[in-house]
Amino acid sequence: MHVLLSGVVGSTAYGLAHADSDVDRLGLFAAPTVEFHGLHRPAESHVSTAPDRTLHEAAKWCRLALSCNPTASELVWLPEDLYEVRTPLGDELIAIRRSFLSARAVRNSYLGYATQQFRKLTTRDPGDPRSRAQGAKNARHLVRLLEQGLALHETGEVTVRLAEPERVRELGEHLAENPADATPLLADAEQRFDRPGALPDAPDEAPAEAWLRAVRATHLTPA
């Protein structure tokens, strides 16, 4: 496995981490090209819990990024200080990051994941302390996804580190206790996503295709 790009993501990257937060890491790797020539394809992802790390094979990461998956996409938009592994191919991927973006995919992904958090928020058991804590986490993610998604839709830029993390944290606490107050936030987000934004209608797959072919050529011969 050749890790091409890796960094710290999640609550640490957003500025929402607290003393008990886990440190989440995300990266992408290139499997040796020869492994694609047999009956069985190589594993597309490797997930570990000690430390908490997810690594996606290069092709899978590209597919996730072309669908504007929020978690996968943020890897190429991290603040410089959060990268732990950067290679020349990783830097090339960062350079073409805007080509993965599209208006419909951003709307579907960010608004879709925020709506999932809302459903979790409204179906939790308010009498369970563990459920209450999870509800606050769901609410923070809901707010974060809406704010990051709308900023991306309207500016064409992914902002990983939140400008006002304390406000997001406080709003999350409020929504955890008052889930119905999230309804107008979602409605407003839908209206804003429906307006013309800064993103193209479809992604430009050509740079991703060229980059992935370069990855395969680089790792054609086992080291």
- With respect to residue 131, please indicate whether it lies within any of the assigned structural domains: yes
CATH number for the domain spanning 81: value is 3.30.460
Give yes or no: residues 55 and 117 share one domain.
no
Give yes or no: residues 86 and 119 share one domain.
no
42 contacts 57 by C-beta, under 8 angstroms? yes
Report pLDDT for 128.
Answer: 74
pLDDT in tens, 53-97: 999 999 999 999 999 999 999 999 999 999 999 999 999 999 999
Report pLDDT for 92.
Answer: 98
Confidence class for position 222, pLDDT limits 50, 70, 90: low
Give yes or no: residues 65 and 119 share one domain.
no
CA distance 213 to 62: 12
**Token couple for 101:** 């973006």
CA distance 25 to 81: 13
Report pLDDT for 22.
Answer: 87
Give yes or no: residues 51 and 114 share one domain.
no
161 contacts 132 by C-beta, under 8 angstroms? no
**Token couple for 68:** 């504007």
Give yes or no: residues 149 and 188 share one domain.
yes
118 contacts 142 by C-beta, under 8 angstroms? yes
CA distance 120 to 113: 11
Percentage of the chain modeled with pLDDT above 70: 98
CA distance 43 to 16: 32
Report pLDDT for 18.
Answer: 83
Report DSSP letters for 11-65, one per residue. HHHHT---TT---EEEEEEE--GGGGGSSSPPPSEEEEETTEEEEEEHHHHHHHH
- With respect to residue 148, please indicate whether it lies within any of the assigned structural domains: yes
45-49 and 83-86 beta bridge pairing: unpaired
Percentage of the chain modeled with pLDDT above 90: 85
Mean per-residue pLDDT of the chain: 94
Give yes or no: residues 131 and 168 share one domain.
yes
Give yes or no: residues 107 and 96 share one domain.
no
- With respect to residue 83, please indicate whether it lies within any of the assigned structural domains: yes
CA distance 185 to 115: 11
Give yes or no: residues 171 and 82 share one domain.
no
CA distance 129 to 120: 15
- With respect to residue 199, please indicate whether it lies within any of the assigned structural domains: no
- Residue 115's domain comprises 103-194
Confidence class for position 221, pLDDT limits 50, 70, 90: confident
Give yes or no: residues 124 and 163 share one domain.
yes
Give yes or no: residues 95 and 177 share one domain.
no
pLDDT in tens, 100-136: 999 999 999 999 999 999 999 988 776 776 777 788 8
The CB-side HSE value for 126 (13 A sphere, CA atoms) comes to: 6
Give yes or no: residues 14 and 94 share one domain.
yes
Give mean pLDDT, residues 140-160: 97
Report pLDDT for 3.
Answer: 98
Helix segments in the chain, DSSP class H: 10-14, 58-66, 70-73, 88-95, 103-106, 112-123, 129-155, 165-177, 182-194, 205-218
Q: In this predicted model, which residue has the larger pLDDT, 100 or 21? A: 100
**Token couple for 157:** 């830029």
Report pLDDT for 223.
Answer: 57
Give yes or no: residues 8 and 78 share one domain.
yes
Is the pLDDT at 15 greater than 90? The verdict is yes
Domain count within the chain: 2
